[in-house]
Chain A
Amino acid sequence: MLKVENLQVYYGGIHALRGVNINVEQGQIVSIIGANGAGKSTFLNALSGIIRPKEGKISFKGKSLPQIPYKIVAAGISQVPEGRLVFANLTVKDNLMMGAYLRKDKHGIEKDLGKVFELFPRMAERVDQPAGTLSGGEQQMLAIGRGLMSNPDLILLDEPSLGLAPLLVKTIFEIIKDIKKLNKTILLVEQNAYKALSIADKAYVLEQGRIVKTGTGSELIKDPSIQEAYLGKTLKSYRSND
């Protein structure tokens, strides 16, 4: 469904992505794990057209992906950005409606709004509340709900568990599985490697702008070098949490 070949991104002199190749199949959860500064957000922003890659080919549903953000949303890709970026000055309802900005099908919008409220009942209670007054966890839920409102085929999630309490992290990952059941394809970027690998159909490891490893989620969880580099501590702490 999404095929990225040799993606190269520079920030001035900084070579942030050094030839990334990725393949996402319809209906999968694909995770990219990597440390701080590995280039995860850069990758998603290049897909969303926020950053223009210097080189590389991106094709989506068999066609070459446009390079302008709103055309990419129209093509069926939405992003839930790192740090949520909910519109603090808008109500919860208006935030969700901004997610549906390009849509004209009133019925479809109403239906998807219903689905979002099913996933996040708390959003239904807060429709008229300014998003800036929500808690961090609620803002993350709103950001995900907003990302779903464009009815995307592919949803890009940038560290959805960032800064959330363990219990909430668990909820968020449950919700990601629910989103998959809505017939969406998910590209998830995470530092929380254990969680991200355990729900992934396929996963990639990004290090300093390069993909250094790929495999199914369970393969990578068992991989000794991954365990050492990414799961060492997390594995234990999550076992005790689960």
Chain B
Amino acid sequence: MTAFMQQIINGLSIGSVYALMAVGYSLVYSIMNFSNFAHGGVIMMGAYIGFFLLTAFKLPFLIAFGLAGVGTGVLALVIERIAYSPLRKRNAPFLYFIISAMGASIFLENIVVATIGPTFKTYPRIFSPEPIAVGNLSIGRLDLIMCVISTISLAALIYVIEKTKVGTAIRATAYSVRASALMGVNTDQIIMIVFGLGGLLGGIAGVLFGMKYTVYPQIGFITMKSFIAAVFGGLGSLPGAVIGSILLGIIETLTSGYISSQYRDLIAFALLIFILIVRPIGLMGKTTEDKA
């Protein structure tokens, strides 16, 4: 029982980081109806920015988080302007967006390989590896930090979306871009805000992910698992993305703990295919025919 609870706690911790990544996919999907596969590249850049801020510049870690988030927020915006905005202006088919997204993602990965190199980098140790004991359970300090930072960031995001005027406009635009434009919303600006927010949280998630594991150029691909979580929860739904991510985190740690960690990603991707077959709109997804 203790071992099981231990796995659940680890699952919650990694699941909360997936949630930070997944909301980026979901936000963009909710308005633009396409899956922004460049998001993985943005997350990877966050992990690198955090790494260099902590090692080369020796910044305090909270500042490193903040700056990495700002950096990736801006990066996501730039990608939107260069890779998607011109397509939007021409009403291009969804397939073009997907191809453009993949192009951006491959570009980011290769620019890192070419300039920084393909090797693994390990974050400096910031927290003592000594876990905190709670009853029979022991909670890693990093796991705890992951959970806390993710929860705070997600709570801030949900506050913005649910309680502010710009959040209402984001929800309105997600429902209908045209109706929202007719209300006087600058929908172009809303799309930029959505990319910025997704990039910001993605960067923070990238730093956490890098701290937990290591940093390497293919992180972008691995973090695509958070996309699975977003599909699982229902693309376009924020609560769905969070719930899907937590479940994915728990499924993963249980697989590692009770089967083998080699099956972890296999099971995650098998889950994606399974969901797409039995319930394509996910747990709480918005109904749509196009799930590109």
* Chain B residues with a Cβ under 8 A of chain A: 165, 168-169, 171-172, 174-176, 178-187
Do A101 and B185 form a contact, CB below 8 Å, given A85-B176, A85-B179, A87-B179? yes
Of A88, A89, A99, the residue contacting B183 (CB under 8 A) is A99
Q: Is A185 on the interface with B (CB-CB < 8 A)?
A: no
Of A74, A79, A90, A94, the residue contacting B182 (CB under 8 A) is A79
Minimum CB distance partner of B180 in chain A: A98
B171 x A85 contact (CB < 8 A):
no
Q: Is A168 on the interface with B (CB-CB < 8 A)?
A: no
Minimum CB distance partner of B186 in chain A: A70
Q: Per-position contact with B for A133-169: 1 when CB-CB < 8 Å, else 0?
A: 0000000000000100010000000000000000000
- Tell me the minimal C-beta distance from B152 to chain A in angstroms: 26
List the B side residues contacting A81 at CB < 8 Å: 178-179, 182
B185 x A90 contact (CB < 8 A):
no
A94 x B183 contact (CB < 8 A):
no
Minimum CB distance partner of B30 in chain A: A89
Minimum CB distance partner of A86 in chain B: B179
Closest A-B pairs by Cβ, 5 of them: A73-B184, A85-B179, A69-B181, A102-B184, A70-B184
Do A50 and B182 form a contact, CB below 8 Å, given A85-B176, A87-B176? yes
Q: Is A97 on the interface with B (CB-CB < 8 A)?
A: yes
Do A94 and B178 form a contact, CB below 8 Å, given A69-B184, A70-B184? no
For chain A residues 49-101, which have a beta carbon within 8 Å of chain B?
Answer: 49-50, 68-70, 73-74, 78-79, 81, 85-90, 94, 97-99, 101
- Tell me the minimal C-beta distance from A187 to chain B in angstroms: 14
Q: Is A48 on the interface with B (CB-CB < 8 A)?
A: yes
For chain A residues 18-70, which have a beta carbon within 8 Å of chain B?
Answer: 48-50, 68-70
B171 x A90 contact (CB < 8 A):
yes
List the A side residues contacting B182 at CB < 8 Å: 48, 50, 69, 73, 78-79, 81, 85
Residue in A49, A78, A98 with the greatest tally of chain B CB atoms within 10 Å: A98
B171 x A50 contact (CB < 8 A):
no
List the A side residues contacting B172 at CB < 8 Å: 87, 90, 94, 98
List the B side residues contacting A74 at CB < 8 Å: 184
Do A73 and B183 form a contact, CB below 8 Å, given A88-B175, A89-B174? yes
List the B side residues contacting A50 at CB < 8 Å: 178, 181-182
| Cα-based distance from A70 to B184 in the complex (angstroms) | 4
Residue in A50, A87, A88, A150 with the greatest tally of chain B CB atoms within 10 Å: A87
List the B side residues contacting A68 at CB < 8 Å: 186
| Cα-based distance from A70 to B190 in the complex (angstroms) | 12
- Tell me the minimal C-beta distance from A105 to chain B in angstroms: 14
Minimum CB distance partner of B173 in chain A: A87
List the B side residues contacting A101 at CB < 8 Å: 165, 169, 183-185
A90 x B183 contact (CB < 8 A):
no
| Cα-based distance from A85 to B175 in the complex (angstroms) | 9
- Cβ contacts A to B, 5 pairs, < 8 Å: A70-B184, A87-B171, A98-B169, A101-B169, A101-B185
- Tell me the minimal C-beta distance from A176 to chain B in angstroms: 18
Do A90 and B184 form a contact, CB below 8 Å, given A81-B179, A85-B176, A85-B178? no
| Cα-based distance from A88 to B172 in the complex (angstroms) | 9
List the A side residues contacting B183 at CB < 8 Å: 73, 78, 98-99, 101, 146, 150
A87 x B175 contact (CB < 8 A):
yes
| Cα-based distance from A87 to B171 in the complex (angstroms) | 9
Do A89 and B171 form a contact, CB below 8 Å, given A50-B178, A81-B178, A81-B179? yes
- Tell me the minimal C-beta distance from A163 to chain B in angstroms: 17
Of B168, B186, B187, the residue contacting A94 (CB under 8 A) is B168
> Contacts A73-B182, A87-B171 given; 19 further ones with Cβ under 8 A?
A49-B181, A50-B178, A50-B182, A69-B182, A69-B187, A73-B183, A78-B183, A79-B182, A81-B182, A85-B178, A87-B175, A87-B179, A90-B172, A90-B175, A94-B168, A98-B180, A99-B183, A101-B183, A150-B183
